[in-house]
A and B are shown apart, each in its own frame.
Chain A
Amino acid sequence: MTTDAAAPAAATRVAPSLAVEELAYSYPDGHQALRGVTLRIERGERVALLGPNGAGKTTLVLHLNGILAPGHGTVSVGGLPVTRQNLQEIRRRVGIVFQDPDDQLFMPTVAEDVAFGPANFGVTGAELAARVDAALATVGMSEHRDRSPLHLSGGQRRRVALATVLACEPEILVLDEPSTNLDPVARRELAEVLLGLDATMLMVTHDLPYALQLCPRSVILDDGVVVADGPTRELLADAELLRQHRLELPYGFRLD
């Protein structure tokens, strides 16, 4: 966030945290997952990405940090285009928290895992230690720093996974299904941590109440295109829109 030198000449206005233009992608087996997605997220926005299974949400996420290369269209993060040359800086700017913390946490101890990202991006010594301390403090896991991720509860693992990404000081935080497999208390605790962050956020989720609680704006993706983009409350109150795209509020919920 500190180095904006790479941003293009448009110095008068701040470049959006995320700009996706006409993104299309088909998998090698021919399945067309994205058919021209355009999405712009300004700095500091919290946006929920909703959509049924198979809508292309995960494919879109994997484009944001260059794991998949677009067939057509462009992605840029904080003004820096996602290209092969910029890959390392892009991966620092885009912090993805994956769905299963066991996939994300692979080092023997919590503190080492949190240090893994920033160390890869060239942070060393006292600054690295400070980053680790700050990230663990933000998610309230400082006292577990020397434990193995294996011995943590689901909610704790999720918060450590968040810390591993926060330690990289990303431009945009991307959360893939952050509330799955969490008990209600862990779910609320995670929401409190997320609401306390001063970060741009894109949250991929099926948990519509969670989207409403955390994200003022929502985008619905279906069959590889953006079909709706607006205030979360308005989208979720539109029962017809939700029904068309295989989304529904949990039993007993009503928004009007």
Chain B
Amino acid sequence: MAAGHAHPLYRSGDSPVHRLPPEVKIVAALVGVCCVVATPRTAFGVFAGYLALLAGIWVLAELPFGWILRRSVIELPFVALVVLLPFTGEGPRVDVLGLSLSEPGLHGAWNILAKGTLGVLTSLTLAGTTPLRDLLLGLQRLHAPQLVVTIATLMLRYVDVIAAEAQRMRIARISRGHDPRFLWQAGATARGIGALFVRSYERGERVHLAMLSRGWTGTLPQLSDRRTTARQWLTGLVPAAAALGLAVTGWVIA
């Protein structure tokens, strides 16, 4: 339904995962991430289990591993600090390849790396199989705060309009010979951003007027009356149940 909104994290398809209602997928992903976070960090086998579970979903959703891997690079800046932990950590030390590393530091690094990666992979799986428009619909059906859904819907529509406006302003600037190379020459760019803010604010007011004119009452009407069946919920929550099973296993063996 959202043909016009291809985003780089979405891979269109018609797999059973793609066809699941968005709210089911959101709940399943949320449960999955909570299970991962709650798993004791020393239950190494359980983390492998989560990865296998995700891999199973990718096969089902026809998401190539390489495609997922390239997009998971987004995690890198967030885990960069993790590298420091084994060197700076306190407590008993172990020798690895001639380096003396802190044992709690190693465990801490592993904890962040494993859980962070699994979280990113889960989110990528959700984003890869659900168009943005449907994610919003899912949030709306899950009774997410009305204001949040409205803001997200408007953002989805206007981020491109504002980006195009910024682009036109930039072209108009460089067409008049503006070529900032140093920080102190960036004044014009900064004023451009200020002007863009004011323009976007004014546009916001005009959009609001236009919405009021068509009877806006503060809530977005639910426009799709597709019902989600109990069967769809059950199917969609199978991976979530599996993740829950893995988390419990983790607590038992740890």
Residues of A at the B interface (CB closer than 8 Å) are 62, 65, 67, 88, 91-92, 94-96, 98, 100, 102-109, 112, 115-117, 119-121, 124-125, 128, 146-151, 164-165, 168
Contacts and interface: CB of A to CB of B under 8 A. Distances in A.
Interface in B127-186: 132-133, 136, 153-154, 156-158, 160-161
A106 B3 CA distance: 16
Contacts, number: 96
A120 B223 CA distance: 10
B167 to A, nearest CB: 13
Interface string B213-245: 111110011010100000000000000000000
Given A103-B206, A120-B216, A164-B214, A109 B221 contact: no
10 contacts: A107-B157, A109-B1, A109-B133, A116-B214, A117-B215, A147-B4, A148-B3, A148-B5, A150-B4, A151-B4
A112 B220 CA distance: 11
Q: How large is the interface on B (under 10, 10 to 19, 20 to 34, 35 or more residues)?
A: 20 to 34
Contact of A67 (B157, B213, B217, B220): B213
Interface of B: 1-5, 132-133, 136, 153-154, 156-158, 160-161, 203, 206-207, 209-217, 220-221, 223, 225
Nearest to A62: B209
A103 B3 contact: no
Contact of A168 (B2, B133, B214, B217): B214
Nearest to A147: B4
Which of A94, A148, A165 has most chain B Cβ within 10 Å?
A148
Nearest to B164: A150
Contact of A149 (B2, B157, B212, B217): B157
A112 B153 CA distance: 12
**Among all A-B residue pairs, the 5 with the closest Cβ atoms:** A148-B4, A119-B221, A120-B215, A117-B214, A103-B206
A27 to B, nearest CB: 14
Contacts of A103: 203, 206-207, 209-210
B218 to A, nearest CB: 10
A8 to B, nearest CB: 23
Contacts of B207: 103-104, 106
A115 B225 CA distance: 13
Contact of A120 (B154, B157, B160, B214): B214
A91 B214 contact: yes
Contacts of B5: 108, 148
Given A116-B221, A119-B223, A146-B1, A106 B154 contact: yes
Nearest to A102: B161
A56 to B, nearest CB: 17
Interface centre among B158, B211, B215, B216 (most CB of A within 10 A): B215
B223 A115 contact: yes
